[in-house]
Amino acid sequence: MDAKFFDSLYEGDSANGVKLGMGLTGGDFWPRVGGCQNLYRGQDGSTIDFENILAVTEIEEESITVPGFAGHQAGALYVYVLRRANCCGCEDRSFGAAVKVSFDGQGNLIGPACNEVFGLEVEQFAGLSVRLMWYYFPIAQGAVPVGFNIYWDSGTGQIDYSSELGSVDYIGPRYYSFETGVFSEDSYKFCVRGLMSHGRENGDLGIVRIQMRDIAPESVGLLNANVI
């Protein structure tokens, strides 16, 4: 039995001993005759605390839950490692079952995301309206988008990401476009973000800006044609 599981000093009532059921044997003998799976955590791969077990589950279980006391901080990153112990209390030393977990500034789990849009462009058309154009390719994406949200600054210079100007459905790898209504300010900024099925966006910060022109070009003079 690994030394960190030998718990006779506390008769199995230490933090690790309680999770492993060591109290059943007074902390002297390994009670997990069928083996078990132990969960550990750290801020990165080099700081994982393998002396303190977060949670224990049976060897045949396919999932394990992080206990409520082991909370997650907003904006933080964690590395979890699951290791198996056999019937004799000997634990493996591999990193085969490891996962990195990240949380955003609001404390929401950051999962796999779709790719960012490519080649975002903007042009003025039909007077004072704007057309946005971009391309999306799915190569090596972490999640398939269901559409795109278009954000703008309303002419203020600061893009408002809490309320979209419009949206476009995703229908595969291709060029996409979005046309606005008539604008009245001199310049605008826009951003297009991919939207996934669970409601999270890819967080793209790529911005395009357009300077509006409200004066029509001067007309040409008389056009003459001569035989040469």
What average pLDDT is seen over the chain? 88
pLDDT of residue 12 exceeding 80, the answer is no
Cα–Cα distance for residue pair 80/208, rounded to 1 Å: 39
Cα–Cα distance for residue pair 12/6, rounded to 1 Å: 8
Structure tokens at 223: 């056009």
Q: Note the pLDDT of residue 77.
A: 87
**Higher pLDDT among residues 227 and 139, named by residue:** 139
Q: Note the pLDDT of residue 217.
A: 58
Q: Domains of the chain by range and CATH?
A: 3-110 (2.60.40), 118-211 (2.60.40.10)
Q: Note the pLDDT of residue 219.
A: 64
Cα 172 to Cα 5, 36, 103, 194: the distances in Å are 53, 44, 29, 12
Residue matched to tokens 């977060």: 54
Q: Note the pLDDT of residue 215.
A: 57
Q: What is the rounded average pLDDT of the residues 109-117?
A: 85
Lowest-pLDDT choice from 96-100, 120-124, 187-191:
96-100
Q: What is the per-residue pLDDT across 118-137, written as a single tens digit (0 to 9) for each? A: 999 999 988 889 999 999 99
Share of the chain above pLDDT 90, in %: 49
Q: Note the pLDDT of residue 80.
A: 93
Q: Note the pLDDT of residue 95.
A: 85
Burial of 112 (0-12, 13-18, 19+ CB in 10 A): exposed
- Of 104, 95, 121, 110, give the one whose Cα is nearest residue 176: 121
Q: What is the per-residue pLDDT across 54-87, written as a single tens digit (0 to 9) for each? A: 999 999 999 999 998 888 888 888 999 999 999 9
Cα–Cα distance for residue pair 82/60, rounded to 1 Å: 13
**216 falls in which pLDDT band (50, 70, 90)?**
low
Q: Note the pLDDT of residue 151.
A: 96
Lowest-pLDDT choice from 29-33, 84-88, 196-200, 222-226:
222-226
Cα–Cα distance for residue pair 24/17, rounded to 1 Å: 10
